Structure 1
Amino acid sequence: MKTLSLQRFRLAADFVHTHARLVDQRLFEYYFTNGSSEDVMEALVPYQNEDGGVGHGIEPDIRMKASSPIATSVALQYAKAVNAKGSHPFIQKAMNYLSSVYAESGFWPLKLKAMNNEPHAEWWHFTEPATTFEINPGAEILGYFHSYPQILEQDLFPIWHEQVFTYLEDAEKLDMHESLAYMRLSQMMPSPGKNQLIDMIKPHIRKVVTTDPSKWGAYCAKPLWFAPNPESPFFPMFEESVIKNLDYEIATQDKNGAWSPSWEWKQYGDVWESQARKDWQGELTVKTLRYLASYNRIEGLNSSSEGAV
C-alpha cells in the first residue's frame, strides 16, 4: 500500500498556492490548514452573475461568462464541500436562478447556445436545444433543492422525483455523468427515498466504473469518483479497486506536485494550455489530496477531509 510522502504533499500544496484558482486554494485551506467555509464562499462570488447563476469558467471546459445550470451546479458542489448554509447570499441567488430556469424551460438544459460564443471544449459545443428533462444536471440540481429548500410557486418535488425515478427505471445503462448526478442526488436526498435511490443506482454504477488500472490514464469513471471516502455506500462494491486507485494516484503525481487532466481540447489550444488545463490541475490536485486524506494515505497527516466529490 502506497502513501504520499509529506514532501510530495508539500509539493502539491505549493502547486496549489502558486498556480490554482483562488477558490481551489481556499478549498485546500479549508481541508488542510483550518481555512474557513466563508473564505471559500467569498472566492466563489466573482463567478456569480447578476441573475444569480454562475459562469466565468468555474467549469474549466466552459469559458462562457454567462450563467448556465451546469456551471451553477459546479459552484454548489464547492458550497456543499464546505457545509455552507442555505441562508448564504450566494446560495440564495444561485437557487433563485435555478428556479427561474426551470420556470422558463421546464427543466435545466445541459448545453446552451451561448456556449459556442466563447472558448470551450468540443464536447460542450451546442448543436440543438434539448426538449425534455436531462438527468445531467437535473438529478444533481434536484439534490440542491433538498439541501437548500426554496419557496416554490408549487410543490414540484413529486414531479421531479417522478422524472428521476422513471428515467432510472427505464434506463438500461447510465453514462458516467448521469451516474455522478444520481450519486450527488443520493448524498442530498432525505430518507426513505435516499436508500431506495442508492439501491437503484448501484447496478448502474457497477457497470460504469472502470476497475482496470491500465485504462485509468484515459478519461473514464475511476472508483474514487464514486467512493471518495470509506463511508461512501458504494465503497463496499469497489474496495479492492479503490485501494489500487489510491496507489495509482500516488504513483502518477506530476513532478511539479500536481495531478493533471487525462483529456485535452481539440480546439482553442491556446486557451486550453494557458487557462483551462491549469485550472483543472488546481482542481484535480485538491480533489486528489482529499481522496488520499480520507483514506489516510498521506504520511504524517491525520485525515481531515470529508472526501465529498
Structure 2
Amino acid sequence: MPVDVESAERFMLANARLLDRHLLAVLLHDAPVTPVLDALRAYRNPDGGFGHALEPDVRAPGSEPAATLHALEVITALGELAHPMVAEAAAWIATIADPDGGVPFVLPAAAAYPHAPWMVPTEGGSQLTFGIAGALWQAGSHEPWLRRATEWCWATLKSPDELSGYLLKFALGFLDQVPEPARAAAVIEDLRPRIEPDGSISVPGGTENERITPLALSPKPGGRSRALFTDDQIQADLDLLEKGQRDDGGWTFDWLGWSPGQSVEWRGLVTLQALETLTAHGRITLPRAV
C-alpha cells in the first residue's frame, strides 16, 4: 500500500510537538525555517545547551548531551550551518566533555527527573561523542574541543568488535561527516563484520527483537556508510518502512515506551523521520501547496 501522506500529517497535527509540526511544514509545504528555530529556542538554556525533554527519554530541564545533539541535528538538517546556536552548543559541550574529548551519555543532574531506564551516567565518553562530533563537522564548526573529540572517536574505532548497536549507528554518522574521507572509508570497511546478512544489527538489552536497520544506520543516500549495504537491503528496508504506517497515520518505535508523554513524542519524531527518509529515497512525492 502506498504511504498516506495526508493521514500522516493529520497524525502529526493531532499528536506531535510544536517543533516537529513546524519541521513537517518545512518538509511538506516548503514553509519557512524561522518557526522551527523559534520553537527550538524554547529548549535552549542560557548556558548554550539544550534540555527540557528535547530528547524524549531524558526529561530534565537542564542541558543534556542527548538533547543538544538533537538540536544540532535539527539545525544542520535545515541547512542553518552558521546559526549562532551551533557555536553556542559546541561551546557548552566543551565544558562538560572529559579531558580526552569524550562526551558523557547523561549528566548526573538528570537522575532527579523522569528518564528512561537506560538514560543514566556511564564512565568515560559515550556514543554521543560520535554523534555530536559528526554534526559539528557537518556544520563546519571551529570549536577547539572538536579536535579532541575526533581523536577520541578514531581511538574508539580501533576496537570495532567492542562497538554496541547504537554506538555503531552513531559511529557511522561520524564517519559520514568527518573531513578525512579515505580514512573514514577504510574504517567503514572494517565495520562490515558487525553488520548481519540483512544489513541490521541487534540491540543487546533492548526490547524483544529490537534491531537497528540499514536505514537507521545509514539514513541518507550517498553517505559514505552506504558502502556497507546493498541496494537490495536498502530497498527491502524501505519496503518495511512503507508498511510501518499505522491505521492512525503515524509510525511507531520498537524500543521501550516507558511513559505516555515519551511515547507520543517519539511517535511524532519517528513519523517525521519516516516521511523524510521515504521522500529522500523517492518512495513518496510530497505535496508542496501551503
**TM-score range for the pair, normalised by the shorter chain length:** 0.7 to 0.9
Instruction: Give the secondary-structure state (helix, strand or coil) at the position aligned to 2:130.
Output: helix
Query: Residues 12 and 206 (structure 1 numbering): CA distance in 2 closer, same or farther, change over 3 Å?
Result: farther
Q: Deviations over 1:267-289 (max 9, x none)?
A: xx5xx11x110100100001001
> How many percent of aligned residue pairs carry the same amino acid?
23
Measured at CA, do residues 26 and 107 of structure 1 come closer, stay the same or move farther in structure 2, by a change above 3 Å? same
Of 178, 182, 185, the residue aligned with 1:195 is 182
1:286 aligns to what? 272
Q: Does 1:125 align with 2:124?
A: no
Do the aligned partners of residues 210 and 283 (structure 1) sit closer, same or farther apart at CA in structure 2, a change above 3 Å counting?
farther
Cα distance change, pair 301–67 in 1 and its aligned pair in 2 (3 A): closer
Query: For residues 104 and 64 of structure 2, what CA distance do their matches in structure 1 show?
Result: 8
- The aligned counterpart of 2:231 is 239
Partners of 1:301 and 1:248 in 2: CA distance: 19
1:85 corresponds to 2:81: yes
User: Which residue type is aligned with residue 3 of structure 1?
Assistant: P
- For residue 151 of structure 1, report the CA deviation from its aligned partner: 5.3
- Contact 2:45/2:63 (8 A) holds in 1: yes
Distance across 2 between alignment mates of 1:231 and 1:75: 23
Distance 1:165 1:194, change over 3 A: same
Distance 2:146 2:255 in 1: 37
Q: TM-score, normalised by structure 1?
A: 0.81
Give the Å deviation of 1:99: 2.0
Any unmatched runs of 5+ in structure 2? none
Partner of 1:307: none
Whole-angstrom CA distance in 2 between matches of 1:189 and 1:105:
18
TM-aligned CA distance change 1:64 to 1:208, over 3 Å: farther
Which amino acid letter does the alignment assign opposite residue 201 of structure 1?
Answer: I
1:208 Cα offset (Å)? 4.1
SS of residue paired to 2:191 = helix
Q: 1:295 to 1:200 in 2, by over 3 A?
A: same
Shift of 1:64: 1.1
Q: 1:28 to 1:198 in 2, by over 3 A?
A: farther
Letter in 2 for 1:150: H
Q: TM-score, with normalisation over the residues of structure 2?
A: 0.86
User: What does residue range 198-209 of structure 1 map to in structure 2 within 5 Å?
Assistant: 198-204=185-191, 207-208=194-195
Q: What SS does the corresponding residue of 1:107 show, helix, strand or coil?
A: coil
Distance 1:205-1:111 versus aligned 2 partners, 3 A rule = farther
Q: Given residue 235 of structure 1, which amino acid in structure 2 is its aligned partner? A: R
Alignment correspondent of 2:93 = 98
The structure 2 residue matched to 1:109, chosen from 89, 104, 108, is: 104
1:177 aligns with 2:166: yes
SS at match of 2:219: coil
Question: Following superposition, which runs of at least 4 residues in structure 1 exceed 6 angstroms of deviation?
Answer: none
Identify the residue that residue 130 of structure 2 maps to in structure 1.
139
Please give the per-residue CA displacement for 1:56-88, whole angstroms capped at 9, x wherever unaligned: 1111111111111221111111111111132x2
Q: Cα gap change, 1:145/1:241 in structure 2, threshold over 3 Å: closer, same or farther?
A: closer
What is the deviation of 1:103?
A: 7.2
In the alignment, the residues of structure 2 paired with residue 36 and residue 166 of structure 1 have an alpha-carbon distance, to the nearest angstrom, of 41
CA distance in 2, matches of 1:36, 1:44: 14
* 1:1-309 aligned within 5 A: 3-4=2-3, 8-86=4-82, 88-102=83-97, 107-126=102-121, 130=123, 132-134=124-126, 136-146=127-137, 147-150=139-142, 152=144, 157=147, 159-190=148-179, 193-204=180-191, 207-208=194-195, 211=198, 218-236=209-227, 237-265=229-257, 269=258, 272-273=259-260, 275-298=261-284, 300-301=285-286
Distance 1:183 1:161 in 2: 13
Name the structure 2 match of 1:306: none
Question: How many Å apart are 1:119 and its aligned residue?
Answer: 1.0
Provide the secondary structure at the position in 1 that maps to 2:265: helix
Q: How many residues matched? A: 281
Contact residue 176 and residue 184 of structure 2 kept, 8 A: no
Secondary structure (helix, strand or coil) at the match of 1:121 reads coil
Q: Does the residue aligned with 1:123 lie in a helix, a strand or coil?
A: coil
Q: Residues 17 and 199 from structure 1, CA distance in 2 versus in 1: closer, same or farther, beyond 3 angstroms?
A: farther
Q: Which runs of 5+ in 1 are unaligned?
A: 304-309
